[in-house]
Structure 1
Amino acid sequence: MRDDVSDHPALPGGPYVPPALLRNGARGRFLPPPRPAATGTAGGPASSDEAATILGIEPGVVAGARREAGRNGTDLAAELLAAGICDAESIAARIAARLGLSVESIGSGDRIIGVAASDRAALPRLVKTCDARLETKLFLLPRLDGLARLGALLAARPDFARRARVTTDRDVKAALAQQSERQRLRAARESLSATHPRQSARNVLEPAQAMVLTLTFCGLVAAMIHAQAATLAMVHLVAGLFFAAGLCLRLAAVLGRKGSTPRQSEPIEPKPLYSVLVALHRESGVADRLVDALSRLDWPVSRLEIKIVCEADDPDTIRVVEGAIGRRPQFEIVKVPPSEPRTKPKALNFALPLTAGEFLVLYDAEDVPHPGQLREAYARFRCGPPKLACLQAPLVVGNGGNNWLAGIFALEYAALFRRLLPWLGRHGLPMPLGGTSNHFVRAHLLDVGGWDSYNVTEDADLGMRLSRNGYGIETIDLPTMEHAPERLAVWFRQRTRWMKGWMQTYLVHMRQPLLLLRELGVRRFVTFQLLFVGMLASSVAHPLFLGLAGAGLARLVAQGPGSISLGVLLALDLFNAVGGYALFVVLSRQAIGGEEARNLVRYFPLVPVYWMMIAATTLRAFAQLVTDPHRWEKTPHDMAARARPHDARYRLDPRFET
């Protein structure tokens, strides 16, 4: 028996009704329970009639479930659970009755000391526990097709039978989670700061960085004292050129190929296990809608595990989630003990060791993913290169027509997720991930250490770490619908966190710039600088460029042409000011069409106001970086985030037709 409990295989399941199993939607009719027995007819797979007798359901239903198990690479019980024919407790009770054993949960005093698993479906899985009195118990998770052999073993080994009892997979997973809780919490709290401290944002600045910044500041002050005009002109020129270089990156995206990525055909093979993670905190208002959206994902539920990660001291959200998921066995609530830092990546790191999927996708509380998104990602992973680690789905704002703030947010997302990020992915350039709808190869995610619990934009940081480790990031086409903030206060706090996280990410990855250059190469290193410095500097410099361009034009009108250098600076300022707006308009307009365009184009004239607001959030983010770097300002996703929460028209939520 192996003592490595992490080898215990997950057995996901849920209310998925396979078309070949119950084409008319009928449920299996339960028959009288079987008489206890300890043996079967043979050691091989039980016949449909035998399994039907054990479970008390009709043979035709069992035969259909067995066919579905063959297609999905699962077992009979998993498909019966997935179809809602039986629940785990009733299956365990009937198997126990057949074997003459009792059904028992693993108690809090029972410590798991070993898990035995077999790749052959005819052999049972077994969990060995030991309590404070050194009494050992054997908890069995038998497969229906192995009951005859197990019955013979129990009859031949009374000592084995005396210690054996039947339990459910959910109970075993709960016991393993409880036993590993303290270790997982410690690992989640420390995350990269313990394993790769130079890649963690736990410390804002390293001493060498502080020294460089101090010397740079002192040098600028000295230059201002001795040559103020020349220093200002040089800073003006350097900032303007960098801003212009960032615009050239977006110009390349404008001129790049437009259109969807060719769809890949799904491999003809049993579907792998797919894990879904969603972190919730004070989201009782949207939890039921989230569960409904995730229930519509087009993936065999017997090969799907959905973990809703909640804070243990958030009883309202937990209560709503429990009511929404009911007895759907593919859903599970993971409760995170209260601890610092109070961040989303810490919660995800706490839940990550509990996942078992080959692939993993991350969603947010307000998300409504397209039902076919998992299938598209799976096909792309299977047909892509071995080092393809992540696929970013486009995020589409569904409430952009509600007010101007949500409208410009929607335009911003359209330009980013439907034009710029796909262009970066096609050219193998670093990509700052969005905070949701990231599909990962789970092994690659674990290889780079998961998320940084101290970075408040863990998505952007993770994208860079994947690139530094040689992994690829691309995009898919099927979207996730989201809600944008409609209230200024909500938007302001959210954008402050984003800008602070980008500052954290830039400082972390520039701790060893020469190493970063070697890992990324020149082309990707320059792209990183343009993306991150361009985003941060341009948000603050934008009002400055507008002011300088206005002052230069006023001087030109009043005094006529001046020196060549002043003319160059004026031309640069005008290019940056006009080009910034023009490229934003063109990029976002390329990404939208039809009714979406009709709803959103009226907000283009307000983009300058929006960018001025971003400048204010950047200054606030810098202040927070100094005083409270790991503060996570919660973004509400329920009606409190809407501009008119009492207007019934704004209660309509996006939904994909299937």
Structure 2
Amino acid sequence: MTISDVLMVIAVFCIWSLLLVNVTLIIAGYLYYIRTENEAVPEIKGEYPFVTIMVPAHNEAVVIGKTVESLLALDYPHERYEIIVINDNSSDNSADLLANIQSKYAGRNLIIINTDQVTGGKGKSNALNIGFARSGGELIAIYDADNTPERMALKYLVAELVNDSTLGAVIGKFRTRNRDASLLTRFINIETLSFQWMAQAGRWKLFKLCTIPGTNYVMRRSIVESVGGWDVKALAEDTEISFQIYLLGYRIKFQPKSVTWEQEPQTVKVWFRQRTRWAKGNIYVIVKNIPMLFKRSAGKIRFDILYYLSIYFLLLISLITSDTLLVLHAMGYVHTTIAGLSSFLWLLAIVLFVVGIFVTLTTEKGEMSLSNLCIILLMYVSYCQLWMVVAANGLFTYLKDVLFKREAKWYKTERF
């Protein structure tokens, strides 16, 4: 067996191992969705807990008005929640827009914090810490500036949390508001439903594990106080605080009936910058928490650490290796005796990919269509391949930041 054969076998084994893990998560997630479809959300007994909703916003004038209006319309007792918008060093007319809304709803608990380049402009974690210092809620909810949650979204999250003392946080899901804006947003819509929410449901079903998605979630105030707030160095502050919650002995539950709609990137340039930030942020969290693999107190969190390690390192390297060897074999530069088998497994992987994703779409009304089946096929050869470039770029820029001791920058997603 040649060296190229050995490398190919290792790469194919790693790819298929991770593929089977994701297929397992999809099956488990589908079963969880089916069960919760007819399962009632717990009721909030007695007085509703006071909730602080925080919205970090930097140059979000295009979307912030609609977001605040939707938060003010939530089906939750108005006197039992406050909204804190952290207008973080914005250079657009966000401050004026927010002031007008605050004046319009003068009787409501709407707090606007305007930071400058000294106190703000340092990323989402810093903005959340500023807002938290002004907050009064026993529960803390977070929504991104481009979100329009459904009226029951917050109530569903709170109901789950107050009825289970083992939960440190409860997450809902987000849907793509501008799904039909472009081919890219259709890809993102399918990615969100399959790779994020179905995987979240599967991880909860199998391991009672979930990762906070950055928006549409509620957590206990005591947790934020215990961990000292959000890590300002973490670009993926949601993943980072998820790990902290588990280390404190709590669980994070997924409640799919709590839905918020958000705007996704409509151009490849904006999408690439956003996803690179996500990749860098998750790599930072992985590196920071690798020591947890060797601590008994980490418990089930080891699965998440290994999962992220596999996705951002093992899978990336394996995909690059297998694709490179197949191309070089076709060009005659290297010889591998298992190229035929690798090609067969590659085609089989595509079939599993398409079938698995299409099955997840059956859980959402209007998503199971012939056009989406075609989108999934196109997605594999385009969007998914771009993910490798994003992951590689995220790893490269993370290493550059570490090597040159540069402060990680939080790039704001451009709105449309």
What range is the shorter-chain TM-score in? 0.7 to 0.9
Counting matched residue pairs gives: 398
Letter in 2 for 1:631: K
With the length of structure 2 as denominator, give the TM-score of the two structures. 0.86
The answer to whether the 8 A contact 1:539-1:614 is kept is no
Letter in 1 for 2:169: C
**13, 16, 20: which one pairs with 1:248?**
20
Q: Tell me which residue corresponds to 1:361.
A: 141
Q: Secondary structure at the match of 1:394?
A: strand
5 Å matches for 1:495-644? 495-511=275-291, 513-515=293-295, 518-521=296-299, 524-539=301-316, 541-549=318-326, 566-567=337-338, 571=341, 574-575=344-345, 578-579=348-349, 582-583=352-353, 585-587=355-357, 589-592=359-362, 593-598=364-369, 600-607=372-379, 608-628=381-401, 630-637=408-415, 639=416
1:269 CA displacement: 0.4
Deviations 1:398-429 (A, max 9, x none): 22222211111110000134311011123335
Q: Secondary structure at the match of 2:214?
A: coil
Deviations 1:369-424 (A, max 9, x none): 1110121112211222x220111111111222222111111100001343110111
Change (3 A) 1:267 1:478: closer
Alignment partner of 1:415 is 2:185 = no
**434, 437, 447: which one pairs with 2:216?**
437
Deviations 1:125-175 (A, max 9, x none): xxxxxxxxxxxxxxxxxxxxxxxxxxxxxxxxxxxxxxxxxxxxxxxxxxx
Q: Secondary structure at the match of 1:259?
A: helix
Q: Secondary structure at the match of 2:207?
A: coil
For 1:432 and 1:589, locate their aligned partners in 2 and report how far apart those are by CA, in whole Å: 22
Change (3 A) 1:577 1:480: farther
Letter in 2 for 1:616: V
Q: Secondary structure at the match of 2:266?
A: coil
The answer to whether the 8 A contact 1:369-1:479 is kept is yes
For 2:185 and 2:389, locate their aligned partners in 1 and report how far apart those are by CA, in whole Å: 18
For 2:92 and 2:183, locate their aligned partners in 1 and report how far apart those are by CA, in whole Å: 35
Q: Tell me which residue corresponds to 1:389.
A: 168
Structure 1: gaps (5+ residues): 1-227, 640-658
1:543 CA displacement: 4.7
Alignment partner of 1:451 is 2:222 = no
1:605 CA displacement: 2.3
**460, 466, 489: which one pairs with 2:269?**
489
**34, 40, 65: which one pairs with 1:259?**
34
1:274 CA displacement: 1.0
The answer to whether the 8 A contact 1:499-1:621 is kept is yes
Letter in 1 for 2:211: P
For 2:376 and 2:292, locate their aligned partners in 1 and report how far apart those are by CA, in whole Å: 40
The answer to whether the 8 A contact 1:485-1:491 is kept is yes
When Rg is computed on C-alpha atoms for both structures, the one with the higher figure is 1
For 1:581 and 1:632, locate their aligned partners in 2 and report how far apart those are by CA, in whole Å: 37
The answer to whether the 8 A contact 2:71-2:148 is kept is yes
Q: Secondary structure at the match of 2:86?
A: strand
5 Å matches for 1:151-550? 230=3, 234-256=6-28, 257=31, 258-259=33-34, 261=36, 262-312=39-89, 314=91, 316-326=93-103, 327-339=106-118, 342-384=122-164, 386-476=165-255, 477-511=257-291, 513-515=293-295, 518-521=296-299, 524-539=301-316, 541-549=318-326
**CA RMSD between the two structures:** 2.9
Deviations 1:539-586 (A, max 9, x none): 45435434445666899xxx9xx8xxx54x864675366426633652
The answer to whether the 8 A contact 2:146-2:263 is kept is yes
Between the two proteins, what is the percent identity of the paired residues?
18
For 1:434 and 1:604, locate their aligned partners in 2 and report how far apart those are by CA, in whole Å: 23
The answer to whether the 8 A contact 2:157-2:217 is kept is no
Q: Secondary structure at the match of 1:479?
A: strand
Change (3 A) 1:267 1:595: closer
1:431 CA displacement: 3.0
1:505 CA displacement: 1.1
Q: Tell me which residue corresponds to 2:404.
A: none
Deviations 1:273-322 (A, max 9, x none): 01101000001111211111111111111111100011245462111111
For 1:541 and 1:400, locate their aligned partners in 2 and report how far apart those are by CA, in whole Å: 31
Letter in 2 for 1:248: L
Change (3 A) 1:577 1:602: closer
The answer to whether the 8 A contact 2:169-2:217 is kept is yes
Change (3 A) 1:357 1:234: farther
For 2:320 and 2:77, locate their aligned partners in 1 and report how far apart those are by CA, in whole Å: 52
